Amino acid sequence: MYKYTRIEVVLEMQNLGLIPVFYHPNVNVCKKVIKACYEGGARVFEFTNRGDFAFEVFEELIKYCKDNLPGMIIGVGSIVDASTCALFMERGANFIVSPVFKEDIAILCNRRKLLWIPGCGTLTEISQAEELGCEIVKIFPGSVYGPNFVKAIKGPCPWTSIMPTGGVTISKSNLEEWFEAGVTCVGIGSKLISANILLKKDFSLLSERVNSTLTLIRNARNRKKKINQNDI
């Protein structure tokens, strides 16, 4: 059973603006990565369902965070069907992220009042997802859609909360583009948790990256506020 309500998860995503995204078959590597992200200031983490027995790794991570990282909210990504969704829900997933829009996943999550973030590629899909109770929609890969897509959606639908994943980097200019376009938060995988960091086991560098990325996001949001104020 999940520990955090969907409202609590949404508020934390909105507050920090960053969701590290990661998968590794070795649970010890996952623990070191999530600890480093936590020490850098992240409080939401997406573990992606990408390999055999990923649910067993996830189950260990949930227990580890409960005992060692108070306040860390862990969810699962790359969920494409309701049966897999149920598997992770029973192991304590606090939110579910999907690359696709699937009504059966929405129904299952809504029964338990669990946050569900579907992948949507059109305004019609976004509207349908919101009709089914979606709080945040995912656009993936973000590199295909880009910040201009977000601006176009936010025009007629300013209430829509959007999280791009894929195509988001940790550079100042890239983050400014996304947040000035109006995203609620961003999911970042290998651009944040790089192969080089894993190879060198430089987890202190990962903590620094997370911390600096959170700072850039705060600055980008402040910049957007100033731009909006000047437009009034």
Q: Kindly state the tokens that stand for 152.
A: 């176009």
pTM for the structure as a whole: 0.95
Q: How far apart are CA 15 and CA 83, in angstroms?
A: 31
- Tell the burial category of 119 from Cβ atoms under 10 Å away from its Cβ (0-12, 13-18, 19+): buried
Q: Tell me the fold of 6-231.
A: TIM Barrel (3.20.20)
E strand residue ranges, 118-192? 137-139, 162-164, 186-188
Is 94 a residue whose pLDDT tops 90? Answer: yes
Please name which of 155, 165, 157, 80 lies closest in space to residue 124, comparing C-alpha atoms: 157
Report the pLDDT averaged over residues 69-86: 97
- Going from N- to C-terminal start, the domains of the chain cover 6-231
- pLDDT digit string, tens, across residues 5-54: 999 999 999 999 999 999 999 999 999 999 999 999 999 999 999 989 99
pLDDT greater than 80 at residue 228: no
What gap in Å lies between CA 221 and CA 230, rounded to an integer? 14
Residue type, 127: S
